[in-house]
Structure 1
């Protein structure tokens, strides 16, 4: 709302007339006409005429009586040598008492060297901006930021699913108006249906969205902060995995005998040898494999920790990849689908068809199986195993040190592990890996399997 300048009309004697015939005996425009204050009855009974009238109250407050019947509050004030008029609203929405309170507030601003008109415009712009800064708008910005930061497709799908849970109640609300109890009520409703983990993740997601609003100066408080303390702790649920050697050997035999789409079978067959995350296996590309060095280099954007990860390839893993190359060697992905990569549900679905329920074995469980059996063997350092699993190392110096120090150990471990899987698959008696395995092959001396030109990619093994 803008302020407007007015210039009172002087009489022939140089004095200023009030609207009801009173005189402004002082020509200084920042002084109020010396008239009696308005009353509610005076305002209610005021008659509208063909020309606007301006009855004054006190301290610059006056009313405009328009020919159309309007009764508009105005405040005349002086700021930096200029006379201005501030619009305060209309009567009866703004009562006489309210108008006087607004006048007093404006005069306090003037006393503090603040122009009431400029301040009103600033607050109006802020209100407009705030109304546009809804949770939905900030949430979409957060998701776009995640995408630009290289978050995986799987992560983005999960984040959008979380956002969808919050949109019905918070999506159109300005972030500055959302209270903690509103967010908590949503989380508690999710918690009551038994989804404690989902409630926790929703809380974390909402907290990050509100933090973005604070960072970008569109909010001052985070209503989701500290709400996790009001939620029940999720029940720890590990990915189901077979860690008993004989049972794991039976699983390997079942994998060997299973029927189905060949590419899916080979993906399931190589999973225990590589024990990478299911998403990393599904999105493997032929260009990432260096068969000369017998290593798979997974780019950082595909890794959970956003750090490039190298996986040593055993002889058995290379042989399986050679089979796969006969089927998908001309494709971008090692395990493609019609449109993109193999579905994230494929391996788990195959395990179910083989009779392994979700509480017995999962695609992710191959990592737990490898971790348990390798640690129990006592042959390998815990750091080498952890690095093979691509678990996060919080100390950057330590992480860089172990990446180089344990590579040779990991190369030997990869081959011995694959050899051990072969023995388990053949029904070997359960004995220590150290005694059961032959001396590991020198992978560095292996002849590189040939990879054909892009039009036909094949692998020759030895």
Structure 2
């Protein structure tokens, strides 16, 4: 007698049946009831051998669907096709499809490259993929993803105002497709067809004071700053050393040799690729007498700890990345006028315009700008150290000369 939904639902496992109980529905279909659940099976013969085909688990697969799957298998048998082999081929095709999906290839590429990338870049690369590309094209195989489809996804990113992210995603998607071509998952890269399709990025330079008179006003305002002494010192050294804001705020006392007037920033703390962080030279910053004086003044305050500019909340971390910018706002400088990073632009501009005897190559080396080409690394070698010392002293003296020409700051002081 054929099975019914009511009968199947009421079935319970028989503890006395060690291998479970079987209930036939006809034409080879039966329900195998075990302690672990209820399983649809089909018994059939092919090539003179008795075989069993798994059709799913109840209640995920109901009676009607189990019967349809049985009938499909019987049609295959009638065509002299083994339904068991068909199922294996389908399972393999599904596995291959999942392995060749955009997400699978992207994650494989990420796993290969992440050891050569910085941790922050590797994390950002995958985070952007998970947020914006995987939900839309992650399950698709690479050959089925067209340029118009990919553009429609990137347009969604543009619409929320993230133009730069859209351009970044276009580049990272291109990396995935190129890797797909290399590994035989696809034959072409549709990203190439998106050249010029996205809204352009309007590059906005970091706000900075670039005129000597305004630089003089800023420097005097810093000297008269009434906030935290460490914040004042960070402002002063930002101007004197013109290093990246992250290297200023995370500066450690063990990097500083006051006797020989040298700040040595370890390679791993510099803005470099992971390979260059591991294998590169440290970055040397000669200290002019004015910089040494600033450090000696705050040494009694923070010299007992790790950081020159520790967080006010805990000495276990450096000051916040917003501290210098916040101080500039308190002094009356808006974000469109001056930022912590603007001290680098200020130095680079005024050095070129007001101290032309200083070699541009020495300035670029002191800014830690990596030059391309075979001579790129040469600018950070020891034979340039005397030129760097001259540069840093000349720059500090020039800043003093600017302040000497200012009678009264025009900004509010904190």
Asked if TM exceeds 0.5, the reply is yes
- Among 371, 388, 410, which residue is 1:410 paired with? 388
2:390 maps to 1:421: no
Q: What's the offset of the Cα at 1:168? A: 8.4
Q: What's the offset of the Cα at 1:199? A: 2.4
> CA, structure 1 residues 122+183, in 2 after alignment: closer, same or farther (shift >3 Å)?
same
Q: How far, CA to CA, are the matches of 2:31 and 2:160 in structure 1?
A: 60
Map of 2:61 onto structure 1: none
> CA, structure 1 residues 304+225, in 2 after alignment: closer, same or farther (shift >3 Å)?
farther
RMSD of equivalent CA atoms: 4.5
1:55-454 correspondence to structure 2 within 5 Å: 64-66=27-29, 76=46, 92-93=68-69, 99-100=75-76, 122-123=92-93, 125-126=95-96, 134=103, 138=107, 142=110, 146=114, 151=118, 162=128, 165-166=131-132, 169=135, 173-174=138-139, 176=141, 179=145, 183-205=150-172, 210=176, 214=180, 225-226=191-192, 227=194, 229-305=196-272, 306=277, 307=280, 308-337=282-311, 338=314, 339-376=316-353, 377-395=355-373, 397-404=374-381, 405-427=383-405
Q: How far, CA to CA, are the matches of 1:159 and 1:51 in structure 2?
A: 54
Q: How far, CA to CA, are the matches of 1:347 and 1:102 in structure 2?
A: 80
Deviations 1:250-305 (A, max 9, x none): 00011111221111111011101110111111111111123343221111222112
> CA, structure 1 residues 386+134, in 2 after alignment: closer, same or farther (shift >3 Å)?
same
> CA, structure 1 residues 174+73, in 2 after alignment: closer, same or farther (shift >3 Å)?
farther
Q: In the alignment, is the contact (CA less than 8 A) between 2:41 and 2:53 conserved in 1?
A: no
Which shifted more, 97-106 or 315-324?
97-106
Q: In the alignment, is the contact (CA less than 8 A) between 2:263 and 2:285 conserved in 1?
A: yes
Q: What's the offset of the Cα at 1:230? A: 2.3
> CA, structure 1 residues 333+190, in 2 after alignment: closer, same or farther (shift >3 Å)?
same
Larger Rg: 1
> CA, structure 1 residues 325+136, in 2 after alignment: closer, same or farther (shift >3 Å)?
farther
Structure ranking higher on relative contact order (CA contacts 8 Å, 6+ apart): 2
Q: How far, CA to CA, are the matches of 2:187 and 2:307 in structure 1?
A: 46
Q: In the alignment, is the contact (CA less than 8 A) between 2:234 and 2:309 conserved in 1?
A: yes
Q: What's the offset of the Cα at 1:189? A: 2.5
Aligned-partner SS, 2:231? helix
Q: In the alignment, is the contact (CA less than 8 A) between 1:255 and 1:268 conserved in 2?
A: yes
> CA, structure 1 residues 318+207, in 2 after alignment: closer, same or farther (shift >3 Å)?
farther
Which shifted more, 220-229 or 194-203?
220-229
Q: How far, CA to CA, are the matches of 2:243 and 2:372 in structure 1?
A: 20
Unaligned runs of 5+ residues in structure 1 are 1-49, 54-63, 108-114, 430-462
Q: TM-score, normalised by structure 1?
A: 0.62
Q: In the alignment, is the contact (CA less than 8 A) between 1:52 and 1:66 conserved in 2?
A: yes
> CA, structure 1 residues 239+100, in 2 after alignment: closer, same or farther (shift >3 Å)?
same
Q: TM-score, normalised by structure 2?
A: 0.69
Q: In the alignment, is the contact (CA less than 8 A) between 2:44 and 2:50 conserved in 1?
A: no
Q: How far, CA to CA, are the matches of 2:251 and 2:323 in structure 1?
A: 15
Q: In the alignment, is the contact (CA less than 8 A) between 1:284 and 1:334 conserved in 2?
A: yes
> CA, structure 1 residues 182+246, in 2 after alignment: closer, same or farther (shift >3 Å)?
same
> CA, structure 1 residues 222+197, in 2 after alignment: closer, same or farther (shift >3 Å)?
farther
Unaligned runs of 5+ residues in structure 2 are 1-22, 33-39, 56-65, 408-414
Map of 1:440 onto structure 2: none
Aligned-partner SS, 1:297? strand
Aligned-partner SS, 1:406? helix
Q: How far, CA to CA, are the matches of 2:152 and 2:223 in structure 1?
A: 50
Q: What's the offset of the Cα at 1:150? A: 7.3
Q: How far, CA to CA, are the matches of 2:31 and 2:158 in structure 1?
A: 58
